[in-house]
Every structure is written in C-alpha cells, then in structure tokens.
C-alpha cells in the first residue's frame, strides 16, 4: 500500500492535533502518524488508569469530524527513501507515504542522568512512572521518591498519590531562590498559577538531588543531597527526571537545522522549504505553547499566513513562560559528577562512565565502546552524554527503529503520483 498526503504530520500530541485542525478547513489531504494507539501524545496518554482531560477529548472529537484528516495510530517512521517520502510501519504492515508538506511534532523525552544504582529494578523516569501508572501499574501503599527537576516531578507525584502511593520526598535540584522567583511570575499565566496550587505537595524539597539508589537485587533506599545534608530514605520506587530533551532524530535525518538541542524554526514554524516543526521538538514549553505552535505551522503549511500571524502574540506569551521555566530549573553543574567510573551510562551495551571519559566526541565513543548502538539506539544514553560531555549525537541512519523485513522490502514499491 502506498499513500499520498498534501500535508503529512508526524506526531499526534497537542502540536500535531492543533496543526491538523488548523489545516483542515483548507480541504488539504492530511495524514497524521503517531506511535501511540490514540492521539494525545505523552502528556495526554491514555490507559486503564488514565484520566484524559476534557480538552484532549474535545480535540480528538474535532479530528474525527474532519473527513480530510486520516490518523494512523501505532505507526512508526522507519526510513526516508527519497525526497518527500517516508517509509512507515504499523503492527500489520509497512508502506510508503509521499507528501507535499511535512510538519514534525515529534515531542520530547526525559533526560535521564546516570548515577550509582540508577539501573536497579524500581528506578524509572519521572514521566516513565506516570506512564506506567496510567497503563495499569499498581503503586498502592508503595513508598515513592521522585527526584530531578521541573514541574513534571509534581505532576508525576500527583499521579502516584492519586493511585495510593506513599510519597516520601519530591527532590527538586533547583534552589529555593530559583523556584520562588519562578513562582512570583506565575500570575502572568493565571491557569499555571492555579495548577501550581493543585499540585503543591508538602514533601517538596528544593536544593535537593539524588546521589545514589541503594539496594542489592532491587531498589531499597535512596541517598539524597538535601539542602547541604546527606540523607537516606527507604523506598520502593524512585522516579528521576532531569527535564526534557527534544526528539530531533527524524528532523536531523531529513535535513532540519538544529538550534541548541532543538529543531530550528522561523516565525512560521518552518525549518526548510515545505518542512515545518512544532511543539517540544522545537524546545520545551508545555502543552499551551505546543498547541499554538502547531496551529501556526498548520495554517502556514496550507498558505493561510494571516491566520498564522494572528497567533504570534499568543505564542510569544507562552514562549515567555517557557523561558522563565527553563531559566528557573536550569540544571546544577554538580549533576554532571553523579556518575562514578563504574556507573553504567549505556544500559543496552553495558558501557560504564569510565569507558567514555577519554573520548572527545560521540563517534569516537561509539566506535570504541558501542555506546548508543543497542536496542534504544542512543535515545537514553545520547541525551546523557550530550549533557555530561557536550557531544552532539549524529543524525541517525535508517532504519530509524526495528522493522520487519517485509516493510524494508516495500522500498521497491513505486510511490503514487500526487
């Protein structure tokens, strides 16, 4: 099966949904891909224990009401066989999609920094714990510590408490001064101020970061540096997240430019001719910024530049929130020294920190140690080594993720003419 789209959108989170809805009135043939079973992205992830917000449900209903929007759930991008072509695969088959315009809304993932014991069973990412709970994981009566940086810690804690967890500590590495300074700015975004009240937890501690996870066969306790003191807390689960890093791998493979760790875009959310990007792959700023960026990209991609321009002030408002957030929760340089020489950095290939310290770039480290060459293809360790050593991971080569032989064979098919 081959397919053609006037507008292809990769990612069905807030940015992707907003882009599709903005472009739909043009009558363009819109195809939206996502590897989740339902639209909503990570922030509005579904599951047996998930409570999907009203806004997400409304956006899904609006998408379904447009006949010119086709949504392929559970679908992954495997390769880019030619200009304006993507090879994709779902659980049943693979096929080629040709497109005229493309919007990448590939989101972001957690930054996981290595520290002693971080590979013990019972240790996850902060967002990872939230996703596991939504998928059905029981945390009833379990002692939970959440550590790292940013508002995701509070959101993850709220989800865990809602499902019966006993919160021991929420360890925020940012200082009290930085967090308080950020809090004083929240009245500029009233809904964020209200949200902060609903998420507040008495176990929240600033100036606190993880030192080690303790245990033999699984997690038993966590050692924290808490406001100048070393403390140990017994716990059953430790969830760590040190912020988010944009998913730029597909953009890199397609020739998008980078600005820092994110995809570079202009005022129209364009990165190159006929290629746009929106949401957290262009920088972390929350769902509100992702929604308006997606709408701008959707309008611009179908030529409605006036509608896109009218959204610029709203985008600027939420960009202000993103800048305040990222400034307040900037990572303490001390977090780069958590790992010991024997601490694993690449879990897939069992590569310790000591095996990487003598190298000067990502390529050299990969050739010598196989770091980043395992099952996750550097999605975890890539962000870690970029933070620890400043190495920029190279653009991925296809296949971008494991694929069936039958899918790769479909590269011989002739794509349909527009």
* pLDDT tens track for 256-273: 999 989 999 999 999 999
Handedness of CA 50, 53, 55, 57 (dihedral sign): positive
Write down the architecture of domain 2-109+245-325 according to CATH: 3-Layer(bba) Sandwich (3.50)
387 phi/psi in degrees, rounded to 5: -75, -40
Q: Which CATH architecture is the domain 112-242 placed in?
A: 3-Layer(bba) Sandwich (3.50)
Each residue's pLDDT tens digit, 363-417: 898 888 899 888 888 888 888 999 999 888 777 888 888 889 988 887 765 454 4
- Please name which of 124, 99, 123, 95 lies closest in space to residue 110, comparing C-alpha atoms: 124
Look up the pTM and report it. 0.92
pLDDT digits over 304-351, tens only? 999 999 999 999 999 999 999 999 999 999 999 999 999 999 999 999
Rounded Cα distance between 345 and 393, Å, is 15
Q: Tell me the domain boundaries of the chain.
A: 2-109+245-325, 112-242, 339-389
Q: Pairing mode, if any, of strands 229-234 and 221-226? A: antiparallel
Domains 2-109+245-325 and 112-242 share a fold: yes
Q: Per residue in 126-172, pLDDT tens?
A: 999 999 998 899 999 999 999 999 999 999 999 999 999 999 999 99
d(CA 241, CA 155): 12
Residue with tokens 């994110």: 262
Residue listed under structure tokens 């099952």? 375
């Amino acid at each position: 099966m081959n397919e053609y789209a006037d507008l292809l959108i990769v990612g069905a989170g807030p940015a992707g949904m907003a882009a599709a809805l903005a472009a739909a009135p043009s009558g363009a043939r819109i195809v939206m891909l996502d590897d989740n079973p339902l639209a909503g992205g990570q922030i509005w992830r579904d599951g047996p224990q998930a409570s999907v917000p009203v806004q997400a449900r409304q956006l899904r209903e609006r998408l379904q009401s447009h006949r010119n929007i086709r949504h392929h759930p559970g679908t992954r991008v495997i390769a880019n066989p030619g200009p304006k072509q993507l090879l994709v695969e779902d659980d049943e088959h693979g096929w080629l999609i040709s497109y005229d315009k493309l919007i990448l809304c590939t989101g972001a993932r957690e930054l996981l920094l290595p520290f002693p014991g971080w590979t013990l069973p019972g240790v996850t990412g902060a967002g990872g714990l939230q996703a596991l709970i939504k998928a059905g994981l029981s945390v009833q009566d379990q002692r939970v510590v959440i550590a790292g940086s940013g508002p995701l810690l509070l959101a993850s804690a709220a989800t865990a408490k809602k499902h019966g967890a006993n919160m021991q500590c929420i360890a925020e590495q940012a200082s009290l001064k930085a967090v308080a300074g950020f809090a004083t700015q929240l009245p500029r975004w009233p809904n964020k101020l209200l949200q902060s009240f609903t998420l507040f937890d008495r176990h929240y501690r600033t100036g606190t970061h993880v030192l080690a996870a303790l245990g033999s066969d699984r997690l038993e306790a966590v050692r924290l540096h808490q406001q100048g003191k070393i403390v140990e807390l017994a716990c059953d689960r430790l969830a760590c997240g040190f912020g988010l890093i944009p998913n730029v791998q597909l953009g890199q493979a397609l020739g998008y430019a980078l600005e820092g760790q994110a995809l570079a875009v202009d005022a129209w959310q364009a990165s190159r001719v006929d290629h746009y990007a929106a949401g957290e792959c262009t920088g972390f700023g929350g769902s509100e910024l992702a929604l308006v960026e997606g709408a701008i990209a959707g309008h611009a991609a179908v030529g409605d530049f006036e509608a896109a321009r009218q959204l610029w002030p709203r985008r600027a408002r939420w960009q202000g929130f993103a800048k305040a957030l990222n400034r307040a929760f900037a990572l303490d340089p001390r977090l780069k020294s958590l790992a010991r020489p024997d601490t694993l950095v690449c879990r897939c290939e069992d590569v310790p920190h000591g095996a990487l310290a003598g190298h000067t770039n990502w390529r050299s480290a990969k050739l010598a140690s196989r770091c980043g060459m395992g099952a996750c293809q550097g999605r975890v360790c890539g962000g870690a080594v970029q933070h620890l050593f400043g190495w920029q991971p190279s653009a991925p080569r296809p296949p971008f993720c494991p694929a069936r032989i039958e899918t790769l064979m479909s590269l011989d098919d002739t794509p349909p003419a527009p």
